[in-house]
């Protein structure tokens, strides 16, 4: 369980409605016939959204070739272990769009409204991640950070959510995020992972073969695992 002194909780992250970003997420432009309806819905969401999250300052110990310990909890991933070589502190984190938006979207039964609600939750989640990251970098003067997330790579499967949530202790519940038996989070627009300082940079996508992923940030590098992680 996270020690209170090492856990930074942010429960009231402001949600700023960015109309251009919303339209981009919806694949619309400002000539869309029902733009006023979309913006009315978005302002409703803006008034009630409470993105939130936390991060935990964690001591890193290297315990094996494919394992690393954060705050005495063992994680099994060759890539995470190598990424944390020479790193003595890392920052497990959890960010969410918040239960307020999640509940609100459940009341939307029109497909266009539901689509818009999902995009608004995505925006809220991104803003929570940005706010946590900015707070962390400002507080600990970390320099460049990279993140890994359980389930993004076969090397660090989604079952590793269990030790991660064990590290979080009661904090996950405090921001309304739960983990199912199959390790899926609710609200679904939540992201968990570990931030770590890096000089070389790291993006999960470079090790991920998934084709046609709409969220891909950088191309797959077929030599990277062999050259850096084996």
Q: Where do contacts with ligand SF4 occur on this chain (CB under 6 A)?
A: 152, 204-205, 208, 210, 213, 215-216
Q: How far is the CB of 214 from ligand SF4 (least distance, A)?
A: 8
Nearer to ligand SF4, 137 or 205 (CB): 205
Nearer to ligand SF4, 25 or 108 (CB): 25
Q: How far is the CB of 148 from ligand SF4 (least distance, A)?
A: 10
Nearer to ligand SF4, 174 or 208 (CB): 208
Q: How far is the CB of 216 from ligand SF4 (least distance, A)?
A: 4
Nearer to ligand SF4, 215 or 230 (CB): 215
Q: How far is the CB of 106 from ligand SF4 (least distance, A)?
A: 26
Nearer to ligand SF4, 12 or 218 (CB): 218
Q: How far is the CB of 151 from ligand SF4 (least distance, A)?
A: 9
Pairing of strands 178-179, 73-76: unpaired
């Amino acid at each position: 369980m996270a020690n209170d002194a090492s856990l930074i909780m942010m429960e009231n992250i402001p949600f700023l409605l960015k109309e251009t970003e919303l339209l981009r997420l919806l694949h619309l432009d400002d000539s869309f016939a029902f733009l006023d309806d979309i913006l009315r819905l978005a302002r409703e969401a803006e008034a009630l959204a409470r993105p939130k999250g936390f991060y935990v300052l964690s001591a890193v110990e290297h315990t094996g070739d494919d394992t690393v310990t954060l705050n005495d909890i063992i994680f099994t991933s060759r890539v995470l272990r190598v990424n944390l070589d020479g790193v003595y502190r890392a920052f497990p984190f959890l960010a969410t769009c918040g239960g307020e938006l999640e509940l609100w979207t459940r009341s939307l039964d029109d497909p266009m409204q539901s689509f818009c609600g999902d995009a608004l939750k995505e925006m809220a989640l991104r803003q929570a991640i940005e706010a946590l990251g900015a707070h962390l970098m400002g507080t600990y003067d970390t320099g460049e950070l990279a993140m890994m997330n359980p389930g993004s790579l076969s090397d660090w499967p989604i079952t590793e959510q269990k030790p991660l949530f064990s590290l979080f202790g009661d904090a996950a519940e405090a921001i309304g995020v739960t983990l199912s038996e199959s390790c899926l989070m609710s609200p679904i627009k939540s992201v968990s992972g570990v931030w770590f300082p890096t000089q070389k940079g790291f993006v999960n996508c470079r090790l991920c073969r998934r084709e046609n992923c709409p969220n891909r940030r950088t191309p797959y590098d077929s030599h990277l695992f062999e050259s850096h992680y084996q």
